[in-house]
Chains A and B, each alone.
Chain A
Amino acid sequence: MKKIILSGALILVAAASFSQLDRSVRPKAGTPPTINIKDSEVFTTENGITVILSENHKLPKVSIRLVTGSDPMNEGSKAGLSKIAGQLIMSGTTNRSKDKLDAEVDYIGATLNADGESMYLSCLTKHVEKGLTLMTDVLYNANFPDSEFERIKKQNESALLSAKSSPDEMSDNAERKANFPNGHPYGEIMTEATLAAINKADVESYFKKVFTPRGSYLVIVGDVNKAQATEMVNKYFSTWKGGPVYKAELGEGQFNKGNRVIFVKKPGAVQSKVTVTFPVKMKPGQPNQLPLTVTNGILGGGGFGTRLMQNLREDKAYTYGCYSGIDITDNGSWFSASGNFRNDVTDSAIVQILKELDNIGNSYVKESEINLTKSAMAGGFARSLENPQTIARFALNIIQNNLPKDYYQTYLKRLDAVNTENVLEMAQTYFTSKNCNIIVVGNEEIIEKLKVFDADGKIEMFDAFGNVAKEVKPADITKDQLIEKYIFANTGTTTMKAANKVIKKVKSVKQVMEMSAQQIPAPLTMTTFFVAPNKEAMKIEMQGMMIQKEYFDGKVGASSNMQTGKKDLTAEEIASKQKSAGLFPELTYSTSGLKVDLIGIEEVNNTEAYVLKIVDGEKQSFDYFDMKTFMKIKSVSIQKQGEEVIEASRSFSDFKTVNGLQFPHTMTLMMGELGLNGKVISIEVNGTVDETIFK
């Protein structure tokens, strides 16, 4: 009995201490923590380096970031130089080949990398001597080998090709040009021409000019004390010599009077990428930066709860996502809000984005809105501090922008203090719905509906790289004349009768092409077959292994690939094939039921070309014919498969005569991110074709 009472009492005691807990009540946050970022040590060297030391002995690791002090330079006709140079810095030194350099970095388990403006080393403290030896070998003796120079240039050529079909890149390029025109480095965009103009000497002189000790910063973070850091800097960086640092007053970008609509054509697009953007008069660390960032967070800074998301996604279902952001830099700052929208709601989406830009400056935001944004920002900030690179960035920002030493220490407190009045003031001061650049990358068909947004009703047309697009000129011939001239040019004739005679003689064509791409380890072999009057087939092999095959024997056909197996052509696909079969499908355009229009004359691949648009149900294509030679130099096909839009673009060049017919001997194929460069290995006309290919 006694025992029971005792345990009963125990339970009561235990229960008493728990009785306070009501589980339905959610715990409240404690007071926001302050940040333990120790002040950095700062000292300068005789050769002009500012050393920032942020001691952190939590782990026996050190990171050393070298940041050059030059402002971005005008690159003009060599736009993209800093990017190319950056990609080449780690390509080897006069002492170490690239392989050897990589192996030595590996040996000590370190990270060493570089870009056009900086270099970064991270390793265990005990390997820092070796790490610095490697880092400074690159800094003093990088030698930019020819082979790597060529490789990097090739890689960028492919990247530029894919940029032409990427709405994001096209939009980004237009945005930079619109906000920062007139030679501001932010508005300089690499194109095929500027890339071609960059040579090795440019890279070498860029590297020499930018990587100079004067005005540079050496940010040392981690497990070293001041004496050790001083020792390291003396030993490895005191002999570094270089010219003056490049400084320029770059301005704040171009502020519009009235809205300006910029359109970038993406033929056949089913959705538009819309970007509403304008420069912002703000430098890093200015008092308004934080409240402005909060304001942007409420408008569209991320997550589902923002105004743009709630309005355009949750309420109107115009898009999967619509976000806004502010980039704040020393050389220019800008705001942008963007999203992808179906063609038919593109204009409505712009209306709503502009409306949200207005609304946030018209009345106070809700407490729940500001709290959500502030909490998310505070959490993100706190979590980011675990990464030593964040601390390094903070230390550098403080010095570079002359911020108070405790700028980041007090960040959370200052964030917490931002109120709805601040937000209203920020929106009224910095946001506008009346002086924006409204950039739309999309289908030309929607262009009329966008005129209302432009202050003067005139829409500017940009190309993929943010340059003013050459206008489409009306064609000076009819589409039938064009097709005739194309046939004449291909067959080397001047009458249709003669042309038909040449074409009739062609019983078969077999063409073998080697295709290579950055992303594919070994070249692909593509073989195409044609057997008169209307059989065609294509196979792609990699080192003898069949990857893909398609055929059409005039009546039926199929396509097969390794992944999905064989699929017979559907009735619609057969009908479509029949409409465009033959050596020159153009000959039957008038009778095939395809919708064919000659749009006009456009510049493509630096050549003036007639543009022919062919629509076949859900599938459309654009063919470009050289105005002078009448050769087909480009063909873009756009096909909808379910929700997905598949776009393939082929460019042809290097035309040569084979058996009286013109054949391109070089081809580039772009499909999404994948770019293939093809070279003809052989073309055989009227040889025997193994008929099994049509099975």
Chain B
Amino acid sequence: MNRLNMKKHLFAIAALTLVGNVWSQRKIEYVEYDLPNGIHVILHEEHATPIVAVSIMYHVGSKNEIPTRTGFAHFFEHLLFEGSTNIGRGEYSELVEKNGGALNANTSQDRTYYYELLPSNQLELGLWLESERLLHAKVDNTGIETQRQVVKEEKRQRVDNQPYASFLTEMFARMYQKHPYKWQPIGSMEHLDAAQEEDYVNFYRTFYVPSNSVLSIAGDINIEETKKWIATYYGSIPSGQAINLFRDFENQSDEAFLKTYGIAKTKFDAKNFLGSKDAEAQKVIKKYSAMPTVIPRPERNEPPFKGVVIDTVYDNIELPAVFMGYRLPEQTNPDAYALDMLNTVLSGGTSSRMNKNIVEKKQLAMAAFSFAFPLEDPGLGLVAAIGSANVDLITLQNALDEEVKSVQDALISQEEFEKLRNGKENDIISAYSSVAGIAENLAQNYMYMGSTALINSELTKYMAVTREDIQKVAKKYFTPENRVILYYLPKPKN
């Protein structure tokens, strides 16, 4: 290499290092505040693309269900597209599409999330749509019946007809004795069938209330204007139990309302409910506004997992498989970062240890993987493999154990560590490339990570993980004497 080239090279490195530093200083800016009725608002303004993500995250998931009514949280993710007092049945998605947007929703054990991605000049529409869903969605038998069929079809497609797909249900059921994590968000179709309209209405009244929601908006917005619209559409949503007073006002007959509240509906102003002039009405509104909605949350009363549970599941599969579950800490635990990186070492990508050793070299498995279910309450980590033909499951299990043990026994190599960090950095940075991703991340961080600000320190936290940390969490959580082992075998023929 001659001198000139060397200099060029150095220049390039210097230039690029500088750029690297720019990243670590780049922050995702946001403002957050609470509305008087308890809605937490997070706004992120960026004008790179003329679109906006409007989302509401409700702090309700399958863990808030009662054991005889499982599947409710997920069911609502479907039901709440049926419309509202001011939105006709089926009109929800039509309105979004007609205005150039896209929408979707999803449910976990811990929360339910709804969002629209719209051209930024349709922000107000998005705010109105979500406020309608929160204030007075249609929860009635027509919608319930329609969505029962849809959800059943979804379960057939996603769970029943997918080989091995029952492992989540089977694993969580054995890992938890008391905690509602023992059932899956998809829940029981029998429960959904058995439930009456009243059960659904009560679920809505309990969990779909202002104080249980985070309104997160990211994209091409003007913060001041957005705040004004939020005050209009969300500030007008009654607080406390007054929201259910309002819902009853809209839905109940005169007699029923009078019976419940001891005041005639006519005393209220239908067009301006909170501003009803009648003194008696104001008194009732005030009384119910002050009455907080109590959100039932499960206790973290699950005893630590001790011993080994071994079971066999017969499924419509061709190749046997083994799934091993370990108890992991709640996702706010500082160990969570190292645990995530441990999973990547074991099975992230084609050059990961499990894939290289178990799938490619030893050819014991068609696929081998490990992943964590980070949850609000203590969750679960999984190490699993689908065997190659004619491989017995004990051999396969031993091979998996060997990989875990190798991380416990020795530090991962420096090179492997670098690859890990590079990949993680790329993942985290790419996750912030879309406003939809930012909106969800902000809401999630506020709702259960304890701090919205975490969005700007996530990478730092990952980069602070050492090789020793990875070894430490491998030893601490992946103990062979405390786990669930599930063997999956093909259903016996004929």
Residues in A lying within 8 Å of B, measured CB to CB? 7-8, 11-12, 14-24, 26-36, 56-61, 102-103, 106-110, 123-129, 223-224, 227-228, 231-232, 235, 303, 372, 375-380, 382-383, 385-386, 388, 412, 521-522, 542-547, 560, 562-563, 565-566
Contact = CB atoms under 8 A, between A and B. Distances in A.
Contacts of B8: 231, 235
B422 A36 contact: no
Contact of B282 (A8, A36, A385, A545): A8
Given A29-B122, A383-B51, A385-B50, A565 B433 contact: no
26 contacts: A11-B274, A20-B232, A26-B86, A26-B125, A29-B119, A33-B120, A34-B50, A36-B48, A60-B20, A60-B26, A103-B351, A107-B422, A109-B422, A109-B423, A109-B426, A109-B427, A123-B426, A126-B20, A228-B12, A375-B99, A379-B102, A385-B49, A386-B434, A412-B50, A542-B318, A562-B493
B16 A30 contact: no
B396 interface: no
A37 to B, nearest CB: 10
A376 B235 contact: no
Contacts of A126: 16-17, 19-20
Contacts of B20: 60, 125-126
Contacts of B432: 59
A542 B490 CA distance: 14
B274 A14 contact: yes
A412 to B, nearest CB: 8
Contact of B429 (A20, A124, A376, A385): A124
Nearest to B161: A563
A33 B422 contact: no
Nearest to A127: B422
Contact of A386 (B49, B490, B494): B49
Contact of B232 (A21, A223, A412): A21
Interface of B: 8, 11-13, 15-17, 19-20, 22-23, 26, 46-51, 85-86, 95, 97-102, 117-125, 127-128, 132, 135, 220, 231-233, 235-236, 271-272, 274-276, 282, 285-286, 316-318, 349-351, 366, 388-390, 418-419, 422-423, 425-427, 429-430, 432-435, 490-491, 493-494
Contacts of A129: 12-13, 16
Contacts of B119: 29, 32-33, 378-379, 382-383
A383 B102 contact: yes
Given A126-B19, A562-B490, A21 B233 contact: yes
Contacts of A544: 389-390
Contacts of A102: 350-351
B246 to A, nearest CB: 11
A31 B123 CA distance: 11
B491 A22 contact: no
- Which of A12, A27, A32, A232 has the most B CB atoms < 10 Å from its CB? A27
Given A29-B99, A103-B351, A18 B232 contact: yes
B425 A382 contact: no
Contacts of A28: 124
A303 B19 CA distance: 44
Contacts of A32: 119, 121
A493 B12 CA distance: 82
Contacts of B100: 375-380, 382-383
A36 B85 CA distance: 38
A175 B338 CA distance: 56
A118 to B, nearest CB: 22
A511 to B, nearest CB: 23
Contacts of A103: 351
A61 B50 contact: no
Contacts of B117: 383
Given A34-B50, A126-B20, 13 more contacts: A8-B282, A26-B128, A29-B121, A31-B121, A32-B119, A57-B22, A60-B23, A106-B349, A109-B427, A126-B16, A228-B16, A231-B12, A543-B388
Contact of B48 (A12, A17, A20, A58): A58
Contact of B275 (A15, A235, A383): A15
A515 to B, nearest CB: 15
Contacts of A23: 85-86, 128, 132, 135
A125 B19 contact: yes
A61 B433 CA distance: 10
B99 A379 contact: yes
B423 A228 contact: no
A227 B14 CA distance: 13
Contact of A565 (B121, B286, B435, B491): B491
A59 to B, nearest CB: 6
A310 B49 CA distance: 33
A297 to B, nearest CB: 12
B389 A522 contact: yes
B16 A125 contact: yes
Contacts of B388: 543
By Cβ-Cβ distance, the 9 closest A-B pairs, closest first, are A379-B100, A15-B275, A109-B426, A33-B50, A27-B124, A30-B121, A543-B389, A60-B23, A18-B236
A129 B47 CA distance: 30
Contact of B220 (A33, A228, A231): A33
Contacts of B95: 26
B98 A376 contact: yes
B16 A566 contact: no
Contacts of B102: 379, 383
A300 B418 CA distance: 51
Name the residue in A31, A129, A547 with the highest tally of chain B Cβ atoms < 10 Å from its Cβ: A129
A205 B429 CA distance: 40
B337 to A, nearest CB: 18
A535 B394 CA distance: 41
Nearest to B84: A23
A634 B236 CA distance: 73
Contacts of B50: 33-36, 382, 385, 412
A18 B490 contact: no
A227 B15 contact: yes
A114 to B, nearest CB: 19
Given A22-B271, A385-B50, A545-B318, A17 B16 contact: no
A15 B121 contact: no
Contacts of B231: 17
A109 B388 CA distance: 29
Contacts of B101: 379
A437 B120 CA distance: 42
Contacts of B286: 7, 11
Contacts of B389: 522, 542-545
B19 A566 contact: no
A31 B274 CA distance: 32
Contact of B127 (A27, A29, A30, A127): A27
Nearest to B236: A18
Contacts of B418: 107
Contacts of A60: 19-20, 22-23, 26, 429
A303 B97 contact: yes
A563 B162 CA distance: 11
B12 A15 contact: no
Given A33-B121, A566-B494, A235 B316 contact: no
B272 A18 contact: yes
A541 B481 CA distance: 38
A27 B123 CA distance: 9
A378 B494 CA distance: 57
Contacts of A31: 121
Contacts of A21: 232-233, 236
Which interface residue of B26, B48, B119, B423 has the most chain A CB atoms within 10 A?
B119
B19 A223 contact: yes
A27 B275 contact: no
Contacts of A123: 426
A594 B430 CA distance: 63
A566 B494 CA distance: 6
B485 to A, nearest CB: 23
A543 B319 CA distance: 11
A495 B75 CA distance: 73
